[in-house]
Structures are given as C-alpha cells and as structure tokens.
Amino acid sequence: MMIPDWIKSVLGENPSSLAEERLAAWVTWLNPISEEMPTGSDISYEDDFETVKSELAKLSGIDVGLIIRLSEQLLKEQAKDLRVGAYYAYAKLRDEGLAGFSDGLELICGLLSSFGNEVWPKKPQQRYTALSWLMGNRTLDVLETLEIDNEDIFKRILSSLVLLQNLCMSWDEGARPGFGAVLEKFEQASLRLKKASASDSSSQSSAVDDLDHAQNRPISSANEANTAGSLPSPVATISSSKMLLDQTRVIAVFLRQQENGYWSACKMIRAVRWGALNSSPPAVDGKTRLKAPRTDVVANLARLEKEENWLDLLEKVEAAFLEGANHYWLDLQYYAWKAQVSLGGVYSSQTTSFLADFSSFLERCDGVAGLMFDDGMAFASDNVLEWIEKQVLKSTQPSSNPQQSSQTMDLIASEENNQYEEAVTMAAASGVEAAMAWLSDHPKLQHGKFLCHKLLMMAKLADAYQKNEWALHLLDRAVNEMQGMPVEVWDKDFAFDLYNLQCSFLQAKAKRKDAQHEKSKIIEKIGDLQNRLVKLDAAKALITLY
C-alpha cells in the first residue's frame, strides 16, 4: 500500500510501527475464547449484541457506557467480532473523545492481527459493512465537534488507521472499506498542528523579551488580576453565512447526542435556514439561479427510502438540509416526515408541529413549491407536491384517516408475514440458527416497532423448534423494548398478541416438572400478563383466556 507523503512526514518511514507496539496493551482482550474455538461463536442473535445494536439505533440519548461495558464482555467472553470492535470504538469516541477513538482503533487492529480471517463475522460483506460504518458519517460528525490538538493521540490514531488499512489489504478488493474521509479529516489536522508548532517556535524568542519587559512593569493589584481571570474567554463573532452553518452543524450534532435530542436539532436547523425567509427566491419562467442538490445526495436519499433504512435517511436529510440551497428542496421534508412516521415512538411524537412549521414556511414563501433550480430540477417532485397538498396544507392539525391507517397496517402485516415465512423456509433448509441470524441482521428490523416485531417472530420460530427458554427470553426482550416506547398506544393489537403469546408460553412452562421450583413466580407473572390483556381489550381477553 502506498503511504501518502503527509503521513510519512508525521510518522516516518514505518508509520504503522507505533500502533503495532501498542497492541500488547490489549492482550487480555485478545486472549482466545477457548482452545476449541479461539474466536468464539456467532453472536448475531445474542441478547447483549442486540442490546448494543438497539442502543446505537437511537438518534439521541445513546448510553455509551452500556455499549462500552457490553462490548468488552462480548469480546472477552463470547466472540472476537469486528462489529463489536467498531461499536466499541464509536462509543469510546463519544465518551472519551480522540483518546477513546485511538483505543478502539488499536483494539480492532489487535483483533485482525491476532485472528486474521478467523475473526467474526465470517462473511466479507459483513466485515466491510462494520468497518465502513465506523469510518462513515456518524464518526465524522463526532470528529467535527472535537479539536485535534494533542499530537501524541493524533499520531496514535493515524498509525492505527495505517495499520488497519494494511491488515485489510488481504481482503478482496470489493470488500475493503474506505478510509478516505477519516484520513482527509486528519490530514487537515496535521496541517493545523504544523502551523501551531511553527507559531510556538517563533513566539519563544519574543516570549523572553516579554518577560524582560514584564519585570520592569508595575504589578496590578490582586483584585484586578482576579477580576481579569474570571472574565469569560471571547467567543468568535459569526461574520458569514458559512460560519453560521458550520456552527449550526456542530450544535446539531451535540443536540442529537442528548436524550430525545432529535427534535431539538431538527427544529433548530430549520429555524436557522427558514426563519428569516419571507418570500420565494427570484425566478424567470419558474427557474431560479440556485444550485441544485448534488446528484449523489439525490440518489443516496432515494436509495435509503427504497431500502426503508429510516435512521440513515433521517441523518442524511438533516445533513443535506444544511448544504447549499437545499433548504428550498422540499423533497427533504417529505423524506424526513416519512422516516419519522415509519420509526414511530419519539421520532413521530412531534410530527404535527413539524408539518405546521413547514406549512408556515410555504405560506410565507408563496409559490416556492412550483419553482426549479438552475438545472431545471423541481424544488418539489410530483409525489411531494401531492403530499404537501394532502398532508401539509390541509392536515397541519391532528387528524386521522381510519381507512388509510388500516391500509398501512395491512401492508406492514403482509411484509412481516413474508419475512417470517422466509425465515421458516431458511430454518428448514439451513437450521434454526441460520434463520435467527438472518432475522437478527435484517436491515428493516433494527429499531422501533420493527425491532419488537422481529423479536416476536424470532420467539415464534424458537418455539417451533422446541427452544422454549430461548422463546421466553426473546419475548421478555420484546416486552422490555415495547414498554420503552408508546407501542400500546399506536399498536394495541400487537401488544395484545405479544402479551398473549408470553402468557401461553409461561402456562406451558408452569406445567413442566423442571420448573416447579419457580412455579409461584411464573403464576404471578401470568396473572400480571392477564391483567394487561384485560386492560388492552377486555372482550378479546375474555375469549382468549377463558
């Protein structure tokens, strides 16, 4: 692998040596799981792994401490897995900044150095996805908020990135992750560090002169010195739109990292970009002089919508909204709304006010929806114009359409049936473990109500293969996930089915001889579930229970 000159100027002719020397610090993490299975087993459907993924699926309020703790347990006790290493590195970056990021990168290098192709996951595409995720937008967003000013930590990170690239060179070319965006970030930092170092050197001689002059100056009173020391440091004045947007990006990243912070960030960036607009931009025959969104952004958002990758779609929408003239690209608001509604829970809790803000913008900038960018691309595509007419302008107050809601639920139910049937077919052909792993990694079933539905499907599959304890464990997880969001409000039928199945499984367990020692606890739990069923639907519960 060719090493860029700027890296050599920082780390010398053997840039990976620093990272290689530090791998010994991770020896307790890199001990084999067992003699028979040094890298352990597949943890794709393990409870702790699911918990880590669920935590990372949040847009705000991520418990990084929990991720760090569970990742350590998984890597030391269950599997040497690159996915867990990537999650650990990201959580350490969020928790400890650049020092934590360097730790995480060194750990990943250690996993690959010690176990090579035996490391989990076994599929090249999954390995590529794990490292590409770590080198992607979420990491870059956090790095954007940090000042890279510690030269020792900077060198540790850079050396680890070089070593990690070297370790991936044996992979198939199409399965090698890209490090370009992160390396570019650190290349810019290297220039700043060099300038700072040069500035420090040039100021040392003048500092000696200043000291001589200071010895001849009268000393200020202690009171004046204390007063001066207590004054806040000056804040850089925002003198351009670019500075404003840069600052907005940083604040938005911070807000999204807070508990339930998605909506704070969402509304803040729209206030910044829309707040002062009271008319449409100038146009000739409907065409403005505003630059159209980048083609890669347009294609990426369309792809994420098609894949129903709602969390990534939300992230990309918020980033695109702060680029160029994209605040006039109305399709972004449609994408945001669709992702919010699809995710449910906290993400759909303020859609009414979101639509009201959008409606207010459209009213102030009358006619904006019919304009075009400089290349002829419409501010709003045809389906977005229809959505604006039906959902935004006419439905900014809470309302419901029972027929439309019923059709949506039918579509969701149909898709879930297809997913479950595919899992059943896979279990028959390749074993229940393979089917469980497929469901566990399914991209459409990683968050919100979809995660709960996935756990229910996995429980049914486990029960079909007489894995009773496994099934109960999955149902417990589904209930815990559900109770953390308002599922019982927006999907009472699902909640009823979940409690009813859990009740049925527990009744079967209570009859087993090996469960007699905990029978009283089981009966107590059954009683609690029956009460929940009655509260959800008394008539249906009477038929089901009696």
Per-residue pLDDT of the chain (546 residues; tens, 9 = 90+): 567 777 888 888 888 889 999 998 999 999 999 988 999 998 888 888 988 888 887 766 788 899 999 999 999 999 999 999 999 999 999 888 899 999 999 999 999 999 998 999 888 888 888 898 898 878 888 888 787 778 888 899 999 999 998 998 888 877 788 887 788 778 777 777 766 555 444 444 444 454 444 444 443 443 433 333 333 344 456 667 777 888 888 888 888 777 778 888 899 999 999 988 888 889 888 889 999 999 888 988 998 888 888 888 888 899 899 888 999 999 999 999 998 888 877 788 888 889 988 988 998 898 898 899 998 899 999 888 888 887 787 654 444 444 444 444 444 555 666 777 888 888 888 888 888 888 887 766 776 677 788 888 888 888 888 888 888 888 888 888 777 665 444 567 778 888 888 888 888 888 877 777 788 888 888 888 888 887 777 777 766 665
Task: Answer whether 0.85 is exceeded by the pTM.
Answer: no
Residue 359's alpha-carbon distances to 192, 382, 542, in angstroms, are 44, 17, 46
Residue 535's alpha-carbon distances to 29, 432, 496, 539, in angstroms, are 48, 35, 10, 10
The pLDDT value given to residue 532:
81
The DSSP 8-state label assigned to residue 284 in this structure reads B
Count of all residues that appear for the chain in the document = 546
Secondary structure (3-state) at 376: coil
The pLDDT value given to residue 506:
85
**In one letter, which amino acid is 1?**
M
Residue 139's alpha-carbon distances to 284, 423, 424, in angstroms, are 42, 33, 37
The DSSP 8-state label assigned to residue 118 in this structure reads G
The pLDDT value given to residue 218:
44
* Helical H segments across 216-330, by residue range: 222-230, 241-256, 262-274, 295-307, 310-321
Residue 6's alpha-carbon distances to 2, 20, 187, 338, in angstroms, are 12, 20, 7, 44
% helix, strand, coil for the chain, step of 5:
70, 0, 25
Residue 154: CB atoms within 10 A of its CB come to 18
Q: At 122, phi and psi to the nearest 5? A: -80, -30
- CA nearest 166: which of 20, 28, 12, 30? 20
The pLDDT value given to residue 546:
54
Provide the residue ranges of all domains of the chain, joining segments of one domain with +: 5-193, 241-392, 404-545
Q: CA triplet 300, 306, 311: central angle to 5 degrees?
A: 70
Rounded-to-integer distance, Cα 216 and Cα 40, Å: 71
Rounded-to-integer distance, Cα 370 and Cα 385, Å: 9
Retrieve residue 508's tokens: 């079967």
Contact criterion met (CB below 8 Å) for 138 and 314 = no
Contact criterion met (CB below 8 Å) for 30 and 85 = no
The pLDDT value given to residue 231:
35
Contact criterion met (CB below 8 Å) for 452 and 498 = yes
* Burial class (CB within 10 angstroms; exposed 0-12, middle 13-18, buried 19+) of 86: buried
End-to-end CA distance of the chain: give it in Å, rounded. 71
Contact criterion met (CB below 8 Å) for 88 and 67 = yes
Dihedral-angle region of residue 431 (phi above 0 means left; psi in -120 to 50 means alpha; beta otherwise): left
Contact criterion met (CB below 8 Å) for 193 and 148 = yes
The pLDDT value given to residue 196:
56
Retrieve residue 444's tokens: 């459409």
Residue 389: CB atoms within 10 A of its CB come to 12
